[in-house]
Amino acid sequence: MRILKILFCFLLISLPTYSSNAQSQLDSRKVYEVASGGVVLIKNGSSENGSGFLVNPSGIIVTNYHVIEDADSLSDIIIKFKDNAVFPCRAILFKDPKQDIAIIKIDPTGRHTVLPIAPVGIIQQGEDVAAIGCPFGIEFTITKGIISNLMPSLKTPHLLQFDASINPGNSGGPILNRFAQVTGMVVSRFEAGGRAQNINFAIKSDYLRTALTANRIMFLDSGLILDIDSVSLRFRTAQDSLLNAIEANKIVQKRTQDSINKINEAEKAAQIRSQDSLRDVVEAEKLRNLDFQLSVQREREAQKRLQEIERIRLAGVRDSIERLSVIDHWIPRIIFGYGNDMGTFQSKRTPESTYSQLQLMFGYRPSVREGATRGTFYALFGTIGLLSPPAVSQSLRQEFPPDTSFLNGPDSKMFEEVEIGIVIKEFFRISAGVGNQGFPKYSPNSPDNLFYYTFSAGFTIHISIVDIDLLTTTRFGGDLPVMQVRAGLGLGVRWDFGKW
């Protein structure tokens, strides 16, 4: 039974080594299985199609500039995944016609594969690569080849040469190594009047990483297929420990056999020897048991080391996923408003008592999970506006006695306000602050401006980048004798910037 256990240990130890040898070559079936879900077909509204690939779960896609340059508008650019999910292009984040790189954005997909970009310096001439794309509109095909040259020309240091078969429509698609990392993006092939075959070019991953970093876009670089060589190295380390334990066990077995022989000899000599001889045999048996216990302890320590290696690897993967799931939002907005100055409600409102204003907002929404749509955020509001002459006349009539005389007549007056507040669920706004309004002089020493406090409440309808506001502002205190109210409607645009 002990011999069977030893043979089983040898078989178990040898498995990682064989797996490592099998993984030294690119497995095109495995690469396609794990990576094709992140490759896309790009239609630009013309007869020409291209390819691309997803690099960030928020909907960031990398492709060639020439794939999208002929599109008349964003609505002409349509993105299709292998599972037939179709998305419209929402924005073009980056264009580089010289190096033929473009970065576009769609709505977050959530369920599609994000392809990692190979780190700088790991691409090697002669290594296997696979190209996935949509040649001539034939969706999501794969071809296999090798990297032929890392720099085919000094004039184009950003390109590498490979020989996997490509055709029109592969442009913008990835070429991947055996770990399913993007080592390049297909850009062109050399035809020479039909005489050249499989002389193709791709943009190196180094330049793709530079473009993404310059635009503050996070991306992955760990392979989708496990690097079995590094795991095998760890197993071989454990293998050495187990072999040492097995060797120690052999020594224990030999000592055990020697002890058994001594016991047999002692039994034969017991008849003619004294009790003192038997004591030596008992000590030898104790030594054998101690050696066996030490060998079992060594085997347990080796198993603990293997479990610790696996725990560290899983913790690293879990930390990477958690870092990609939290977003801070910075929300700038500009909006133009128009409405009625309703005064104090204590007297009849003057007709055509209107105002117009331009308001700037800068909001901040704390970290939220990716995919959250309607969140509460804090905001700072700055407003500059203009009261119409009827509105100024209304204020004069409501704020001062009828017999008050003014040195200058009622005309349009500027007002400025600063408020801080909160927007709940991107729908209900509450804010408060201070303001300053121009006012006609009623004596040589009277102030040209009146200071007051403000309180605002209203509703916001947010559609894409457009905001529609319904806002009521109450002015009170300070230099104003009586509280005044104005209400109006605003229309503007805003942007959300996420920080990963």
Rounded distance, CA 486 to CA 455, Å?
11
Q: What is the CATH number of domain 326-499?
A: 2.40.160.20
| For range 463-487, the mean pLDDT | 87
The domain defined by 31-214 folds into: Thrombin, subunit H (2.40.10)
Rounded distance, CA 329 to CA 143, Å?
41
Instruction: Please give the mean pLDDT across all residues of the chain.
Output: 82
Rounded distance, CA 485 to CA 454, Å?
10
Rounded distance, CA 235 to CA 303, Å?
11
| For range 335-354, the mean pLDDT | 75
| For range 21-33, the mean pLDDT | 79
pLDDT in the model for residue 500: 37
Residue ranges covered by each domain of the chain = 2-17+227-323, 31-214, 326-499
Q: Which of 75-84, 104-113, 274-283, 301-310 has the lowest mean pLDDT?
A: 274-283
8 Å CB contact between 338 and 488: yes
The pLDDT > 90 percentage for the chain reads 43
Per-residue pLDDT of 255-265, as tens digits, reads 888 888 888 88
pLDDT in the model for residue 11: 44
CA-angle at 400, arms to 395 and 401, nearest 5°: 130
Q: Which of 328-332, 367-371, 394-398, 416-420 has the lowest mean pLDDT?
A: 367-371
Q: Is the pLDDT of residue 350 over 70?
A: no
Per-residue pLDDT of 290-315, as tens digits, reads 888 888 888 888 888 888 888 888 87
Q: Is the pLDDT of residue 160 over 80?
A: yes
Q: Is the pLDDT of residue 121 over 70?
A: yes
Per-residue pLDDT of 59-92, as tens digits, reads 999 999 999 988 888 888 999 999 999 999 999 9
Alpha helices in 225-345 (DSSP H): 228-270, 275-323
pLDDT class of 398 with cuts at 50, 70, 90 = low
Q: Is the pLDDT of residue 498 over 70?
A: no
